[in-house]
């Protein structure tokens, strides 16, 4: 088991019980995302955690492949989907690096609170771009600590070494937007309720 999956396994139970930090902002992100859905769409979620977002979107898409590096997160997500009687989500334990997805096969890819946790966001964004059909959308919500807490860059490796923090990359909203446009996306929608919270971006494959 990798250090990353071990960290997220350790916190999975607690994570599943934690209330959403800003319920109104979360609901708004669900609403905006749904405006891009059609009932025949194929959706992939990367880093789905305990599955709440996939379960909320499931009635609005044909199929959701919801993936996460943590087996415990996926186990909790599967139980939640059964309890919610949702049967069009395939949950899967996988790191984004190991995902096998045919080129241009997806309509929507979701990565919520994930891009800042990846070793190489540019590689991940380029891979997502390949997976999407033309005009497909990449929906992200990303903590950009480079704008507000640059010093975390120094503390994060120590926190990770001690097992107290996950892998954490520090970058700005501007740098994230540049990564998306460099990969061939056009930003369709961008919303950040406050500077200290995640930026929500819907990027369309050009
Ligand atoms: C902060 S949680 C977000 C979970 C969910 N998307 C949400 O919004 O509640 C980050 C999730 O990303 C997963 N994760 C971290 N690194 C990953 C990777 N390289 N590939 C896939 N999933 C990853 C973790 O296991 C964790 O469930």
186, with CB counted inside 10 A (0-12, 13-18, 19+), is exposed
**Measured from the CA of 48, which atom of ligand 1 is nearest?**
6
- What span, in angstroms and rounded, lies between the C-alpha atoms of 185 and 181? 5
User: In percent, how much of the chain has pLDDT > 70?
Assistant: 100
Predicted local confidence at residue 38, as pLDDT: 97
How would residue 54 be classed by pLDDT, with cut points 50, 70 and 90? very high
* CA–centroid distance, residue 6 to ligand 1 (Å): 12
Over residues 55-64, the mean pLDDT reads 98
Q: Which residues pair with 99 in a beta bridge?
A: none
**Residues with Cβ within 6 A of ligand 1?**
4, 8, 46-49, 53, 68-70, 73, 95-96, 112-114, 117-118
Break the chain into its structural domains and give their ranges. 3-205
Residue 150 scores a pLDDT above 80: no
H helices within 18-151, ranges in order?
A: 23-34, 52-57, 71-83, 121-131
**Measured from the CA of 5, which atom of ligand 1 is nearest?**
25
For a pocket test of ligand 1, which of 9, 56, 69 has the largest count of ligand atoms closer than 8 A to its C-beta?
69
Predicted local confidence at residue 138, as pLDDT: 98
Find, among 48, 202, 177, the residue nearest to 122 by Cα. 177
Q: Are 115 and 121 in contact (CB under 8 A)?
A: yes
Angle at 164 between CA 162 and CA 169, to 5 degrees: 95
- What span, in angstroms and rounded, lies between the C-alpha atoms of 72 and 50? 8
Q: What's the token pair of residue 56?
A: 């909320």
Over residues 52-80, the mean pLDDT reads 98
- What span, in angstroms and rounded, lies between the C-alpha atoms of 116 and 123? 13
Predicted local confidence at residue 55, as pLDDT: 98
When the candidates are 3.40.50.150, 3.20.20.60, 3.60.10.10, 1.10.287.3510, the CATH number that belongs to 3-205 is 3.40.50.150
């Amino acid at each position: 088991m990798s250090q990353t999956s071990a960290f997220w396994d350790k916190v999975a139970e607690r994570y599943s019980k934690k209330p959403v930090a800003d319920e109104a902002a979360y609901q708004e992100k669900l609403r905006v995302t749904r405006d891009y859905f059609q009932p025949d769409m194929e959706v992939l979620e990367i880093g789905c955690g305990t599955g709440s977002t996939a379960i909320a979107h499931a009635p609005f898409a044909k199929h959701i492949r919801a993936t996460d590096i943590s087996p415990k997160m996926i186990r909790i997500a599967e139980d939640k989907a059964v309890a919610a009687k949702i049967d069009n989500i395939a949950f899967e334990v996988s790191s984004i690096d190991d995902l096998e997805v045919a080129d241009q096969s997806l309509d929507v890819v979701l990565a919520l609170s994930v891009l800042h946790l990846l070793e190489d966001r540019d590689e991940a964004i380029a891979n997502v771009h390949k997976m999407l059909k033309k005009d497909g959308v990449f929906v992200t919500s990303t903590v950009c600590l480079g704008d507000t807490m640059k010093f975390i860059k120094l503390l994060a490796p120590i926190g990770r070494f001690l097992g107290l923090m996950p892998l954490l990359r520090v970058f700005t909203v501007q740098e994230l937007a540049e990564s998306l446009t460099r990969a061939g996306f056009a930003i369709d929608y961008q919303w950040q309720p406050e500077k200290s919270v995640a930026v929500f971006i819907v990027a369309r494959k050009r």
